[in-house]
Chain A
Amino acid sequence: MADLIQSVISDYLAEYKDSIDSEPVDERNIMLSFPLHYSGNHRVEVTITQVADDRFVISDMARTIDELKDAGHAVTANLRKRITAISKVSGLRIVDDYLVLDCNRKDLAKSLQRFIEAAKTIGDAYLVYSVKPPKEENLINAVREVLNRKKVLYRESQAVRGKIENHKINFFVPPNGTPGLALAVLPNPTKQLAEAWGFKVGDIKDTNPKVSVGLVYDPERAGKASTDIITTVADLAVPSDRMKALESGLEEKGLVKAG
């Protein structure tokens, strides 16, 4: 077992070493490119400068903030403040868009590892968010899968008539002599949105007494107030991490047969 561990680690380190690239600058400066990638697929590249015999400065050549700009983020004072806060955790400073870390020779290797990890974290914290598929689409797919599996006949992206106004919902099961369901997906259930649904549910039910109203929401983004409102007003409140509750809810409301 110990041999296997050793061989895996040494293979991994050899591969890692091979994939680090360098560019000489002068006798006091080197540039290194690490096999760590920002979401834009660019590598984390840094300079290491020997400023005194026992003193080194590691810098990212302003590449991390550049990556954000390239991805279309406006680097505002607020964003800079947040990046500064993330950097501080790893002991980095920000000077004119450059991420900077000072260290002595003894700590150089450790500091380098800390630096590249922090640079990637900062880049990804914003870049991943901007490129990941919309959460709403994921939730809609999850609901669609349950409805299809349970063989429920539904229409997507409908407007349901209310007493006061029409309400857009994601799924509608028409009440053709059977119970109906109006189901909306809330990927970001803010308190304001939850309150709005408090009104919407009442308005829909006033006009459509045979229609239950269901809300599928992201519990990670829902605060306590939002969760309380949603679970109180909706006939069927389903947190997206417990889609089984949607199946059992459909059975309870008589939309599908149990079992």
Chain B
Amino acid sequence: MPKFTEYQVNELVAARKFAARVLENTLRPEKGKTPTEKAIKFAIRRNDSRNVDLVLVLSGRIKTKRLTGVASIHKPGVALLWHGKRIRGVDWKIRHEVIENGVVTGFIKGWHEHLWTDKDEDRYIVPVNPKMKNEDLQAVIQWCVTKWNIEQIEEQFELEGLWQT
């Protein structure tokens, strides 16, 4: 696996990118099947090198199966994976420690964004900014693609007949 730096990651996140194709989609399960989660993955490429496969994947998923009579809060998680490593991510936890240079410096409750750093890799987190208005998978993906400069997600959803209007 190639090693990359925080600088390279920030440069890649800042670059304009687009969703080239859908790699996996279980948002609409087959009839008679009740999967434990719904997931969608997109291959992401840079606008300035549209034919180059960066091994960059935007992945979103949410748990769907619940235990009868037991409440549990399932909120979507979305991640931008470069060569399988999470360089950006958004998820929700009751509480999550903030790690800076390997040391716990505080904590965040609820929605937070994982940012890749040289020292802490994907363990460094910040509160989501702007705040998450809606908490369904589509809204969280929308939040992420706006923040991470990824275009044409809507088109891919439309191609798959999934975009809810």
Contacts and interface: CB of A to CB of B under 8 A. Distances in A.
Q: Do A and B bind each other?
A: yes
Interface of A: 21-23, 25-26, 28-29, 31-33, 37, 41-43, 45, 47, 49, 51, 57, 59, 61-62, 66, 70, 72, 95-98, 100
B63 interface: yes
A26 B73 CA distance: 12
A61 B92 CA distance: 13
Main SS at interface, chain A: strand
Given A25-B73, A43-B93, A43-B95, 17 more contacts: A21-B95, A21-B109, A31-B73, A33-B94, A37-B97, A41-B99, A42-B93, A47-B72, A57-B70, A66-B63, A70-B77, A72-B84, A96-B65, A97-B36, A97-B63, A98-B72, A100-B67
A96 B67 contact: yes
B52 interface: no
Interface in B65-91: 65, 67, 69-74, 77, 84
A213 B63 CA distance: 55
Contacts of B36: 62, 96-97
26 contacts: A21-B95, A25-B71, A28-B71, A29-B70, A29-B71, A32-B94, A33-B93, A33-B94, A37-B97, A41-B99, A42-B93, A42-B96, A47-B71, A49-B70, A57-B67, A57-B70, A59-B72, A61-B73, A61-B74, A62-B36, A62-B72, A66-B63, A70-B77, A72-B84, A96-B65, A97-B36
A49 B93 contact: no
Given A25-B73, A59-B72, A45 B67 contact: no
A66 B72 CA distance: 14
A23 B63 CA distance: 19
Contacts of A59: 67, 70, 72
Interface of B: 36, 63, 65, 67, 69-74, 77, 84, 93-97, 99, 109, 123
Contacts of A22: 94
B124 to A, nearest CB: 10
A43 B63 CA distance: 18
B94 A21 contact: yes
B79 to A, nearest CB: 8
Contacts of A57: 67, 69-70
B97 A41 contact: yes
Nearest to B59: A70
A92 to B, nearest CB: 13
A37 B109 CA distance: 15
B67, B73, B77 — most chain A CB neighbours (10 Å) = B67
